[in-house]
Amino acid sequence: MAGKTPVRWGILGAAKFAREHMAPAIHAARGATLVGLATSGAEKAAPFQAFAPGLKFFESYEALLASPEIDAVYIPLPNHLHVEWTLKALDAGKAVLTEKPIAMEEAEFDTLIAARDRTGLLAAEAYMIVHHPQWKKARALVAEGAIGALRHVRGAFCYNNADEPENIRNRPETGGGALRDIGVYTFGSTRFVSGKEPVKGGMRANISFENEVDTLSLVTAEFPGFTLETMVSMRLNPYQEMAFFGDRGTLRLTAPFNPADLAKRQ
């Protein structure tokens, strides 16, 4: 990045994931500098300023978006706020990286795409699978026939946050639920590795709810040439695995999504 001006980043909200993972990553990245954080109180900005001295505190999201010091915005807000603030960031002239799911309804994606095209700015969902070397290798192995013809995929991703009733994942009004939080990993990795999409009408689900959010979802789906069986839960001991079964071999990923977190929890 020598000779290029670093992208100046701002963050909307002092989310735990932003504090522990994304903000330090932005701060450490080549070609990027973490400039600002918008949150409800200066005390919430202090942990960010501990590793990013000089980080500017903004008292409102609007103030950060209006700042000429910010080029791009990372949005780790609760799910139900993703579309609203992605659109506001684009309209403010900022490129946007928004946590998954970037939207909760199909039509909202069309709205975001139209705003991206209208502004000419990048709007992206924070979704690591398509960029991760492990998953790129898995995709290449399946594509080159290392396991023969893909016939079945089995996936599981779970954790237990039953003791956190105020967690946004446990609240319907903030777009909670296991499928919205982690279903994208088991389904998305299957789509990425296989390069195929589910067959219309070929999906079945058995879902358990608490407080109007899904806490255990068992889903089967048909893809062209193979089937998928997946489980995601917010009420089980931490576990994650993806397995791709072919007629000449099996590809098994035992730490497919967040291995550091998995090791810490087990």
Predicted confidence (pLDDT) per residue in 112-124, tens digit: 999 999 999 999 9
Annotated catalytic residue, options 56, 88, 94, 100: 100
Closest CA to 19 of 54, 61, 51, 56: 51
Q: Identify whether residues 170 and 253 lie together within a single domain.
A: yes
Q: Are residues 150 and 168 in the same domain?
A: yes
Number of folded domains in the chain? Answer: 2
Residue type (1 letter), 153: V
Give yes or no: residues 79 and 139 share one domain: no
17-30 pLDDT, tens per residue?
999 999 999 999 99
Q: Does 221 fall in a domain?
A: yes
Same domain, 110 and 155: no
Tell me: pLDDT of 2 over 60.
no
In a domain, 54, yes or no: yes
Residue at 2 is within a domain: no
pTM for the full model? 0.88
The β-bridge relationship of strands 32-38 and 56-58 is parallel
Domain identity same for 29 and 47? yes
Task: Note down the domain range covering 174.
Answer: 130-265
Dig out the tokens for 191 from the structure. Answer: 């789509």
- How far the first Cα of the chain sits from its last, in Å, is 39
Which of 126, 161, 189 is the C-terminal boundary of a domain? Answer: 126
Peptide bond preceding 53 in cis form (omega within 30 of 0): no
Which pLDDT band holds residue 1 (cuts at 50, 70, 90)? very low
Tell me what pLDDT residue 261 has: 56
CATH number of domain containing 52 = 3.40.50.720
Same domain, 204 and 77: no
Residue 31 in domain:
yes
Please give the structure tokens belonging to residue 128: 């690591």
Q: What share of the chain is helix, strand, coil (3-state, %, to 5)?
A: 40, 30, 30
Domain boundary among 68, 100, 126: 126
177: domain CATH number is 3.30.360.10
- Are 119 and 184 part of one and the same domain? no
Among 126, 141, 162, identify where a domain stops: 126
100 is annotated as an active-site residue: yes
Are 137 and 189 part of one and the same domain? yes
pLDDT per position as a tens digit, 10-59:
999 999 999 999 999 999 999 999 999 999 999 999 999 999 999 999 99
Residue 38: which H helix or E strand, with range? Answer: strand 32-38
Q: Are residues 118 and 146 both part of a single domain?
A: no
Q: 4: pLDDT confidence band, cut at 50, 70 and 90?
A: confident
Handedness of CA 237, 132, 101, 186 (dihedral sign): negative
